[in-house]
Amino acid sequence: MAPGAGDSIADNTGDVDDEHAARGLQFDSAAARYDEFRPGYPDALFDDLGSLARLTDTSQVLEVGCGTGQATRGLLDRGWGVLAVEPGQTMAELARQRFSTERFAVEMVRFEDWEPSGQVDLVFSATAYHWVDPNTRWSKAASVLRPGGHLALATNRTVAGGTFHQLYEAAADLHATYAPGMDKGPSPSAGSLVDAVCAALPDIGRLWGVVDPTGDSTVAGELFIEAEVRWYGWEHTYRTADAVGLLSTYSPYLALPTDPRAALLEGIEALIDDRFGGAVTRRYLAILAVAERRGAER
């Protein structure tokens, strides 16, 4: 199922009227900002991915929800072929423009609706798998994996420490005024997050419900063997415009009406300039979970 450079983006999104799917598609309206401001992932994560999933230079990867390609480059740089499914038209187009290689293709379709032409070595998703229908996400992944194939999920979690955390505290009144009900509780410490993930093993579904607070803990059950987990601490300092641009790509901010969102982001911009000297540092814990499909032929 190797993708070809001439593959086109097929419009197979089907019915996306349900609330869950519609929320997932809201990022397409901010595709350019998403491409500019969303962070990538540590190189070590992809190195470990290759080892844990036993990938080679002939391996074929299905990436679920590639966005504009923040994680895709790490896959392609290691020589793997990547077919991506991405329901957002603008995001899919940007990803296709970015990666002009015969080892990459993208189809504009939800994973739930995608019809595979064969099985792959790896199903991979970075900060996107919570948008897949929880009723089918684990069975669908297992069904498209070859014997011995793996499911790998990655994300960046914001953790305590750094001035970005202090910024949220300073912006509490702004959020209460312009976004009442938006949950901006304190970020967990890296240690407490690691402990919670370990406690959720062995099921990759249960542990991913802990890793991704916007998802749920629907269990994968007997479809996958015990997941192996790796984590990577890192941080990045954002100037004012970049910090505000980053926030503007997140689901709670995208869901706000235009005027309150603009007022909230303008207030946060002023806070960064006035109280934080025009820059804030965000601490991340990148997390990778890899699980082999159960019943694999050795």
Question: Does 233 have pLDDT greater than 60?
Answer: yes
In the predicted model, what is the mean pLDDT of residues 101-120? 94
Cis omega before residue 202 (within 30°)?
A: yes
- Confirm whether 260 is domain-assigned: no
> CA 73, 76, 81 angle in degrees (round to 5)?
140
Query: Is 161 part of a structural domain of the chain?
Result: no
Question: Is 281 inside any structural domain?
Answer: no
3-class DSSP state of 135:
coil
Q: How far, CA to CA in Å, does 179 sit from each of 33, 65, 211, 243, 263?
A: 21, 27, 25, 18, 10
Cβ-based neighbours of 241, under 8 Å, separated by 6 or more: 269
Number of domains the chain contains: 1
Could you tell me which residue, 102 or 4, shows the higher pLDDT? Answer: 102
> Do the domain assignments include residue 197?
yes
CATH of the domain at 53: 3.40.50.150
β partners of residue 104:
82
Show the domain range for 123.
19-155+189-231+286-292
Mean per-residue pLDDT for 187-207?
Answer: 94
| Domain contains 75 | yes
Q: Is the pLDDT of residue 15 over 90?
A: no
Q: What is the mean pLDDT of residues 33-62?
A: 96
Closest residue by Cα to residue 287 from 198, 156, 197? 156
- For residue 230, pLDDT over 90 is answered with yes
Residue 23: which pLDDT band, with cuts at 50, 70 and 90? low
10 inside domain: no
49-74: average pLDDT: 96
Q: What is the pLDDT of residue 187?
A: 87
More confident site: 41 or 216 = 41
Segment 22-38 shows an average pLDDT of 78
**Sheet containing 228-239: order of strands:** 104-107, 81-85, 60-64, 120-126, 145-158, 279-292, 228-239
CA–CA separation, 128 and 228 (whole Å): 19
Contact of 85 with 106, CB cutoff 8 Å: yes
Q: Is residue 55 part of a domain?
A: yes
The reported pLDDT for the residue numbered 34 is 86
Residue 12, pLDDT > 70, answer: no
At 27, list the tokens.
């990022």
Q: Which helix (H) or strand (E) holds 204?
A: helix 204-211
Burial 201-230 (b: 16+ CB within 10 A, else e): eebbbbbbbbbbeebeebbbeebbbebbbb
Going by pLDDT thresholds of 50, 70 and 90, the confidence category of residue 295 is confident
How far apart, in whole angstroms, are the C-alpha atoms of residue 241 and residue 45? 28
pLDDT tens figures, 155-171: 999 999 999 989 999 99
Confidence category of residue 182, pLDDT binned at 50, 70, 90: confident
255: Cβ–Cβ under 8 A, 6 or more apart, which residues? 23, 26
For the chain, how many residues are written? 298
| Confidence check: pLDDT of 142 > 80 | yes
| Mean pLDDT (whole number) for 223-248 | 96
Q: Is residue 220 part of a domain?
A: yes
